[in-house]
Amino acid sequence: MKLTLTALTALSIFAALVSMAHGQQSGESMGRGRGRGRGRGRGHGHGSGETTTMSPYSCFTRDDGTCDDDGENTCPCPTGFYRCAGRCYTAVTEALFYDAAAERCASLGAHLATPRSAEENNCTAIPALTLPNVFWIGFRGNSSEGAYLGEDGCGPVGNFSSWPSGVEPNPVDNWCVHFGIVLHEIIWAELQCDRGLFLAVCQLDGCYRPDCL
């Protein structure tokens, strides 16, 4: 698949950010801010010195299907979705702006993927292994909240994120989160929602079984 010019630009930015981060002193905090006084470390909290502590499984609808190890296909996903860490994901392989990508996910009965743990982040990144591109994920900036809010309805980015080391996000209105893989790392970045034509990853909320792999 050809990379769009926007995607190539974003990947170049990713590479520059990672290079910058790797050049910092060892032991530096993973989420050191840019002097904005918001106390947002790797677990981006709200308010000075505070950290949001949220279980990655605290705000999800559990699947009512079977997961009883009876030898049948447990935790099945719909056709076109792949199962990972108890969730069902699929990739949107057409380059779209954020809102159009969100609508495409909604047409599948899903929403843009909102990784809330390292495991879910890895699952979300699976399409990038075969589709070298940049992907929208489901976090949109909200100036009044001072945070990126998830499309899953579970509130802001909590105790997990994948921003480059030393980079403090700036969650303002009409800015959205996307990711790419650079130097074998899953890197989040931000851009105006209507400026990037990227691929996307969708997830189903109603097919969630954390006890199923």
Residues 44-54 have pLDDT tens digits of 333 333 333 33
Tell me the average pLDDT across 104-109.
96
Phi-psi region of 47 (alpha: psi -120 to 50; beta: other; left: phi over 0): left
Yes or no: domain 82-212 corresponds to CATH 3.40.50.1970: no
Binned at pLDDT 50, 70 and 90, residue 33 comes out as very low
Question: Do the bridges between strand 198-204 and strand 135-142 make them parallel or antiparallel, or are there none, so unpaired?
Answer: parallel
Token pair in block for residue 170: 């700036």
- pTM check: above 0.85: no
**Where do the structural domains in the chain lie, given as residue ranges?**
82-212
Token pair in block for residue 173: 């209105």
Tell me the average pLDDT across 92-108.
98
pLDDT digits (tens, 9 = 90+) for 71-80: 444 567 889 9
Q: What is the pLDDT of residue 140?
A: 98
Tell me the average pLDDT across 39-68.
38
Q: Note the residue count of the chain.
A: 213
Percentage above 90 pLDDT, the chain: 50
Q: What is the pLDDT of residue 210?
A: 55
* d(C-alpha 4, C-alpha 167), whole Å: 25
Q: Mean pLDDT of all residues in the chain?
A: 74
